[in-house]
Amino acid sequence: MINLFEPQLGDAELAAMQEVVHSRWIGHGPRTAAFEAEFAAHLGVDPAGVLFLASGTASLFLAVELLDLQPGDEVVMPSVSFIAAANAVLAEGARPVFCDVDPRTLNPSLEDVAAVVGERTKAVVILHYGGYPGDVRRIADFCRERGITLIEDAACSAASSVDGRACGTFGDLAIWSFDAMKVLTTGDGGMLYVRDPELARRARRLSYHGLARLSGFSGAKVAGRWWKIDAQEPGRRVIGNDLTAAIGSVQLRRLGELVGRRKEIVDRYGRELAGVDGVRRPPELPAGHRTSYYFYWIQVPGAARDDIASDLLAAGIYTTFRYEPLHRVPLYGFTGSLPHAEQLAAETLCLPLHPGLSDADVHTVVTELRSAVKRRA
């Protein structure tokens, strides 16, 4: 099977994990702090605002919790987004409000966002679809002018940027995912960036039971009766650990290599699919934009998309569509239509993309796709 995603781990990651095991300190500790500092340097931000957490979803839930939302508050987000964003808002008792997206880039424009912003809007969450930055600069300016908090869901954008500025640093808060499918993986894990220093300190407390100071071995170095609990507000335990952080440090050093191979694959797809009737390739990146090349998506006639996906699966090629529009999920109570999201949901298919693909694998995908399109479209 030619897989859609596949983690790329090797001897360097194994050696880093072995070092942690031999240290006898595998929980949250010095390697976690080191990974946070390294990722902060990669972004060009203050490491005090960067937290390595248990998952990207945990990071997103914590980011939304920091908003202190009230019943009736609204958070705007693109309908084409991962379900965690809407769930995080709903869990805080607020209402997710969905906007449409560009039918080719699958990212929202400023106009899409502005069309649904209202008096009750407290925040905007934008996803950089497939690692492609989108209209983030204009959306960030719009939110700042109106006092609206911007959260960047940069889950798949560890190497994405606009004019040299890293995605995740345009808004007030940002998250990244390092699960097994991502460009940079720690097996599971995520990163949260909080721009405001006081809010970042609160995020650290909330990520570990709401404790103002640690009550274990680390606390013994700075306070008497270190076992006493000083909890200022209820929190949960979503911190990362040194085992997965050690993997993350190695993966971060390899990020250029991993993204470089992804780009080679994307370029090959682009060349081999050029001129294929019935297949639309992703649009070109705007000047100054860099992507992490997480997704490679095509668009085909909607009546044929599902059959094409089935034909590819029968040929040993796994494809999918990410993400089913959230405004069509009954849980969120949305009424109305978002025509671009609905159109692309019928036409879009994500092809295999990971550094483990060989050139022969890519050629096989293209050959089978050509055949399936010719039969079905």
- Residues marked active site are found at 182
**Cβ neighbours, 10 Å, residue 23:** 13
Cis previous bond, 323, omega within 30: yes
Q: What is the DSSP string of 257-320?
A: HHHHHHHHHHHHHHHHHTT-TT-BPPPPPPTTEE-----EEEE--HHHHHHHHHHHHHTTB--B
Joined together, the tokens standing for residue 118 give 């209202």
Question: 296-299 and 348-351: which strand pairing?
Answer: antiparallel
Joined together, the tokens standing for residue 364 give 């096989």
Q: How far is CA 148 from CA 72, 77, 117, 172, in A?
A: 15, 13, 10, 9
Joined together, the tokens standing for residue 244 give 């997965």
Closest by Cα among 179, 248, 183 to 17: 248
Separation CA 64–CA 261 (nearest Å):
34
- The type of residue at 7 is P
Question: Which residues on adjacent β-strands are paired with residue 193?
Answer: 50, 174
Separation CA 59–CA 189 (nearest Å):
9
Question: Which residues on adjacent β-strands are paired with residue 349?
Answer: 298
Question: Which residues on adjacent β-strands are paired with residue 296?
Answer: 351
Joined together, the tokens standing for residue 344 give 């692309």
